[in-house]
Amino acid sequence: MSKEMLEAFRILEEDKGIKKEDIIEAVTESLRSAYRRRYGQSESAAIEFNEKTGDFRVYTVREVVDEVFDSRLEISLKDALAISSAYELGDKIKFEEAPAEFGRVAAQSAKQTIMEKMRKQTRTITYNTYKEHENEIMSGTVERFDNRFIYVNLGSIEAQLSKQDQIPGEVFQSHDRIEVFVYKVEDNPRGVNVFVSRSHPEMIKRLMEQEIPEVYDGTVEIMSVAREAGDRTKVAVRSHNPNVDAIGTIVGRGGSNIKKITSKFHPARYDQKLDRMVPTEENIDVIEWVPDPAEFIYNAIAPAEVDQVIFDDEDSKHALVVVPDNKLSLAIGRRGQNVRLAAHLTGYRIDIKSDSEFEEMEVAQETFEDQVESSQEQVD
């Protein structure tokens, strides 16, 4: 090992981001391991690295004793005095060993140890790099596909975009440039896994932070997002400045801000009349967040009107919402979507009843209570 080794360390540090100290430590450990395999022990082995020449030197340390029981660890006083008349009992003497003497097996062991250290260091660097981007949006290139994932190249790693994290109807080709939301970064024995999404509700929030200055600087805060990707999203917002209208700011003049957000997605649906896939747009409803839960639920059910919100005394996160008869289907939404999104947005389990259904329910409850009371009087 020589100055070429120093140059190799420099290249590894610059190209791979692996510190020279870590490489030296790996080589030192590999030589110690090789010595242990060759001689059956390593306690007496000392490894030193010369920063100027790039050489590693291996020494064994032996104690000066009267009677030698283990020649690998001890040297007789007679033999020690033959080396130098200054040695005394109990002194430690270093003997240099040549790493080349460890043979081919030792060299291979050293190489494997170094490579493992390098892989581990590289994995740690990769993990830390992408962990910093967790819960953020990153731009990448579609690389390849299989039955489970679309693999998106984010620079130094292929992220995994699963089917449930894709927007229904959205189709990509290899080399397409796309934006994804990084929601989980894992480090495991097989390597670093980065999981990304385009359907995650938080992606809407991050896009709004990118595109709308008032959201980025905190003037308007996005309180919650409920999303059925590719179809419809509800966003609850509040303003921290009384002179700034939260909903108007998010929507933008003529819907310009919403259009910036929806332009990031490209879902399509099958049109039976045209017999082909046609582009669609994800609708985004922006509602005002308020601290009063009843009023917040009222806002979340929009565009349907709400007559009253009744909370369950036995379940603090359950609410009954009563709407006009002619607004029931609107409040529930297509395939229950509106009430489902409202529930996710507010954090309440919401049941919808029309006025007439609610009246019937109350009458039935009153009749039941009357019957119970009557039965009690008869018993008395």
CATH number at residue 36: 3.30.1480.10
Same domain, 219 and 281: yes
Question: Quick one: pLDDT band at residue 1, thresholds 50, 70, 90?
Answer: very low
pLDDT at 22 over 80: no
Rounded CA gap, 345 and 286, in Å?
A: 11
Please identify, among 106, 129, 152, the residue that sits at the C-terminal boundary of a domain. Answer: 129
CATH of the domain at 155: 2.40.50.140
pLDDT at 366 over 70: no
Same domain, 105 and 143: no
Residues 270-323 have pLDDT tens digits of: 888 888 888 888 999 999 999 999 999 999 999 999 999 999 988 989 999 999
CATH of the domain at 242: 3.30.300.20
Per the structure, the complete domain to which residue 272 belongs is given by 202-289
**What separation, in Å, do the N-terminal and C-terminal C-alpha atoms of the chain show?**
104
Please identify, among 289, 322, 349, the residue that sits at the C-terminal boundary of a domain. Answer: 289
Rounded CA gap, 339 and 32, in Å?
A: 67
pLDDT over 90 percentage in the chain: 57
pLDDT at 136 over 80: yes
Same domain, 79 and 30: yes
Same domain, 50 and 97: yes
Same domain, 16 and 107: yes
Same domain, 339 and 282: no
Higher-pLDDT residue of 269 and 197 is: 197
Rounded CA gap, 247 and 158, in Å?
A: 38
Same domain, 300 and 378: yes
Helices H, strands E: what count in the chain?
12, 17
pLDDT of residue 44: 64
Same domain, 248 and 209: yes
pLDDT of residue 135: 96
Same domain, 154 and 214: no
Long-range pairs, 372-379, Cβ under 8 A, ≥24 = none
Same domain, 240 and 343: no
Which has the closest alpha carbon to 152: 144, 169, 165, 127?
144
Same domain, 143 and 86: no
Burial class (CB in 10 A: 0-12, 13-18, 19+), 165: buried
Residues 323-361 have pLDDT tens digits of: 999 999 999 999 999 999 999 999 999 999 999 999 888
pLDDT of residue 21: 80
Please identify, among 181, 197, 213, the residue that sits at the C-terminal boundary of a domain. Answer: 197
Same domain, 241 and 339: no
List Cβ neighbours of 180 (8 Å cut-off, separation of 6 or more): 137, 138, 139, 140, 152, 154, 159, 161, 196, 197, 198, 203
Number of domains in the chain: 4
Residues 142-154 have pLDDT tens digits of: 999 999 999 999 9
